[in-house]
Structure 1
């Protein structure tokens, strides 16, 4: 089973010899890299970053747009900036800048800290675009950037920001940053991020405000610094038609502003929204267009509008953050427990005389075979419902109830084993009713917040055993103390995993395409923090190299982030141990040492009864 890797994998990840491999260098298996880091003592969830995938996706952007610029004899130039809100983590940003040297690839910032990151790490000569609401201090940072010789554009979200720019220009003098105008389009995107565009969107200038902005710039003799217009109609735009509609509207606004005297206006920033294919299933694709179609439509439409309006063809800026970042990161999560495995024959406590329904269950268990598996499975589920009702009414005892649960789970396992080579849809009909619960050593709230908050799905699959048919319909549970920390089995998007004995072997799941937004939006629910991360590069011989490990925060660091006085916590705990009459004096030092060992570890689980993880 390939878990749809040919749909979402984009040849970044492949399956070879039953394992997920990285399509780079000597094609190492992810499971082998995981075993490597675990032998070094790193337990719990880990995040792997692959810089070569960042580079591949940036190259794809430039190759496609430059192809159509050449094919259509387009007069403008292609640029791209990465919006830092998508992933601000240093092991992403610094490697992205290394991988894109020599390209017209810069950074976009939407806050003061992001602007400081952009000013510090952007490659020389590449653009910085500043979006979002700004105060005088943030605008002053833009002027400082210009004085550093950087190619920076401050995009205006409201007329008050333009007035502040004019004020700071008088105070700080030349050189000035470039000025952009964010336009409020009537067009909007689709899906859960559609409100990013449209006439009622949070950002941008109306037509009336655009005319007023142009007048302010002319009156202040700053019109020559207006170089860009910008729009954004939403993230993860699944269809191409809203993009084309927005381009027509924005292209005409650009042409009109140019004709009204903005002769330095030469750039259109079309924002983000270039979608990523997250689906693992053939009939449920996330997008209905390709990068090739997207680039062709953008270049063709802007050329057509510019030619029809008799204005220069503008440079094209794009902020395709999700497209660049999503694929580069993989979250690897150990499975701690399969809940049904507590039910085995050794747990049966049959009496000399058992209730008739339990005797029938035992008979079903002993006589089930491939021919009667479905019938016996249904019978066992009916018997369980009846026996649980009898327990509620007081007619059977706790031992009988325990035997009921054990026998039904044993029947389920036998039935699935008999049916594993049957048609998958037949197996799915059964397992839609009966899911195995896999306990995973991670937090959905920390590492997959878009699943919890928006219902965004991510490709998930085992790292190995891919040459063995998986037989268990899987519900995934995280270790947070929250019922929302679950990815439930969905028969329309089924996930099947293997029935493994965790006392004998490890089993790891990989969550893919998690490099966009998940880290920056992750929350420390139950105080589970960012997993330990590694950057994986390849040497000249094609061997993988682990770089720049950042360990998950330990417990004291987590509490320090919450503004607890960790020294006070340590003092209080130590004093309470020393004052305890329950601990012998000669053992108190050892107990304090054990406590400090725990405080120096991260909050993820090291082991669970019955598990080797």
Structure 2
């Protein structure tokens, strides 16, 4: 039997979520413990990029990631359609709301050419942005925003240029406007009755924002006789980031029933089904069926899609709208640690004149729980009371002393009896102590400007150091940004390591908090990181920030416009690196 690992690059790759189905092929760790981007036969160390260009903060855009995701989706459909004998076409589109900045849309256009990748738009601004491609080729263009004459006039330009333009209708107002534009095809956007879980579940169901109810649709069918001739698409959007496959299946089933029923009442021209953008991106790739970790893959999703619609005759064209899946992994936010502070009070052991500790900690778990309750009682009793400086110092010292000594004692208990870890992590009070942060790392960015969904919807983003990945972490740390807002902190970290490791490696080197337990899925109260050495530049990376973060960015505290390191490939497959600076300089 092999000896469990003390620490290794392989442990770090699992701890920091780097063995990932979307980005694992090009984002990895080299033998020096550095985070690298693999471009063909070359490896680019991210720390070298930051130092070469003298940047404290940067967005690293790895555009080949977009092409890789596109190819994965298309090849998955191609393989599974052959397995199931599905003869309908596959029509991917990119929802521009996911990331409408020009560099991303350029990549979608360029890389999407071989797959005939279309676009989904929802505003007149997005249509205007696409106008630069008007005469460069024809793609599918689905519009599902508020319809107006100004919108239709622009869409007619695309229709005349040979694009396949479809306008979704969601109200009688839309049909009134479309009555004047006979050449435009129509999509019927219908509310799903089923309401899945997730952060965006409110967008589905009868009260959801998007689509027609069935009673409204049937009423409009009677009033607008031309509808059954021009309608060629059904659109059913069940919400974003649907993380359980059973919910996806329910939405697909509704869409299939709707397709068959409409065909049976005379909508014979409907040949396209759009099941919306519910495909979840694995922000953590552990397949747990949670908001950050869907319990299915792209293979599962497309396999289910084909199986659901293969009984519909003729087989409809299947629209894929998974925008997050396509662009999330292309953008990495990197920021330098500019200060390290205690998370709470600093630890000062109680000692007598001989240097021996005056207060001992019990050797039993039950005794430790009593001490923890005692410290809670102290805080409860002094709540609302005014303390002198001396009293305040004494109380802080007592609480901190017991907390840190308890952690040391728990580690001793676990090392002497490894099976005790089960009882310890099952106790909420003790588990919280062992997974609590000990440091606050101040980093050179603004969550509001650079990763706004971390604040807006508590979106999980994988955090990893870009160096020292061959070393055991020192501490659990909360990340504080440069803003004066109390919400500008990030602390959640998922630990999911499958490799068998030695007991020593379960705990950080300096603060003895748990950083992982083999084959245990843990949520930690801080992020396992290394303490920077004197005059050492230490950087943190936030992965999978390429969806929604660019358009949602704010100018909080007037921190905005981070420099970008754009990496693409030339015609021979060699990396081309370009730095784009937007005026943002160091804020320190």
Pick the TM interval, shorter chain.
0.7 to 0.9
Residue 503 of structure 2 is aligned to residue 481 of structure 1: no
1:286-307, Cα deviation, whole Å (9 max, x unpaired): 1112211211111111122x14
Separation in structure 1 between the aligned mates of residue 319 and residue 554 of structure 2, nearest angstrom = 32
Contact 1:130 1:155 in 2 (8 A): yes
Separation in structure 1 between the aligned mates of residue 239 and residue 353 of structure 2, nearest angstrom = 56
Q: Specify the alignment match of 1:551 in structure 2.
A: 581
Q: Specify the alignment match of 2:284 in structure 1.
A: 279
Aligned residue for 1:339, secondary structure, equals strand
Aligned residue for 1:107, secondary structure, equals strand
Separation in structure 1 between the aligned mates of residue 376 and residue 268 of structure 2, nearest angstrom = 78
Bigger radius of gyration among the two: 1
Contact 1:380 1:408 in 2 (8 A): no
C-alpha displacement of 1:269: 1.0
C-alpha displacement of 1:238: 0.6
Separation in structure 2 between the aligned mates of residue 386 and residue 252 of structure 1, nearest angstrom = 62
Separation in structure 2 between the aligned mates of residue 211 and residue 341 of structure 1, nearest angstrom = 60
Separation in structure 1 between the aligned mates of residue 353 and residue 582 of structure 2, nearest angstrom = 48
Residue 475 of structure 2 is aligned to residue 472 of structure 1: yes
Q: Specify the alignment match of 1:185 in structure 2.
A: 192
Alignment of 1:351-430 (within 5 A): 359-360=351-352, 363=355, 393-394=387-388, 396=390
Q: Specify the alignment match of 1:89 in structure 2.
A: 101
Higher helix share: 1
C-alpha displacement of 1:73: 2.0
Separation in structure 2 between the aligned mates of residue 235 and residue 125 of structure 1, nearest angstrom = 28
Task: Specify every segment of 5 or more residues in structure 2 that has no aligned partner in the other structure, as ranges.
Answer: 1-11, 425-429, 495-521
2:238 corresponds to which of 215, 233, 252: 233
Q: Specify the alignment match of 1:610 in structure 2.
A: none
Separation in structure 2 between the aligned mates of residue 24 and residue 105 of structure 1, nearest angstrom = 24
Residue 298 of structure 2 is aligned to residue 296 of structure 1: no
Separation in structure 2 between the aligned mates of residue 240 and residue 550 of structure 1, nearest angstrom = 40
Residue 39 of structure 2 is aligned to residue 24 of structure 1: yes
TM-score of the aligned structures, taking structure 2 as reference length? 0.78
Distance 1:335 1:246, change over 3 A: same
2:261 corresponds to which of 242, 245, 256: 256
Contact 2:343 2:440 in 1 (8 A): no
Q: Specify the alignment match of 1:572 in structure 2.
A: none
Aligned length: 528
Aligned residue for 2:241, secondary structure, equals coil
C-alpha displacement of 1:114: 0.7
C-alpha displacement of 1:54: 0.7
TM-score of the aligned structures, taking structure 1 as reference length? 0.75
1:200-224, Cα deviation, whole Å (9 max, x unpaired): 21121222332344345535xx644
1:77 corresponds to which of 69, 89, 98: 89
Task: Specify every segment of 5 or more residues in structure 1 that has no aligned partner in the other structure, as ranges.
Answer: 170-175, 349-356, 555-600, 607-613
Alignment of 1:25-424 (within 5 A): 25-29=40-44, 32-43=45-56, 45-121=57-133, 124-169=137-182, 176-219=183-226, 223-279=228-284, 286-304=293-311, 306-307=312-313, 312-340=314-342, 359-360=351-352, 363=355, 393-394=387-388, 396=390
Aligned residue for 1:437, secondary structure, equals strand
Contact 1:280 1:459 in 2 (8 A): no
Contact 1:25 1:541 in 2 (8 A): no
Deviates more, 1:335-344 or 1:47-56: 335-344
Separation in structure 1 between the aligned mates of residue 52 and residue 188 of structure 2, nearest angstrom = 53
Distance 1:10 1:185, change over 3 A: same
Q: Specify the alignment match of 1:435 in structure 2.
A: 438
Separation in structure 1 between the aligned mates of residue 396 and residue 299 of structure 2, nearest angstrom = 60
Separation in structure 1 between the aligned mates of residue 574 and residue 149 of structure 2, nearest angstrom = 50
C-alpha displacement of 1:441: 0.9
Separation in structure 1 between the aligned mates of residue 374 and residue 143 of structure 2, nearest angstrom = 63
C-alpha displacement of 1:402: 13
Aligned residue for 1:493, secondary structure, equals strand
Separation in structure 2 between the aligned mates of residue 437 and residue 540 of structure 1, nearest angstrom = 45
1:226-273, Cα deviation, whole Å (9 max, x unpaired): 211111101111111222222222222222322333332211111111
Separation in structure 1 between the aligned mates of residue 353 and residue 39 of structure 2, nearest angstrom = 53
Separation in structure 1 between the aligned mates of residue 289 and residue 490 of structure 2, nearest angstrom = 18
Aligned residue for 1:204, secondary structure, equals coil
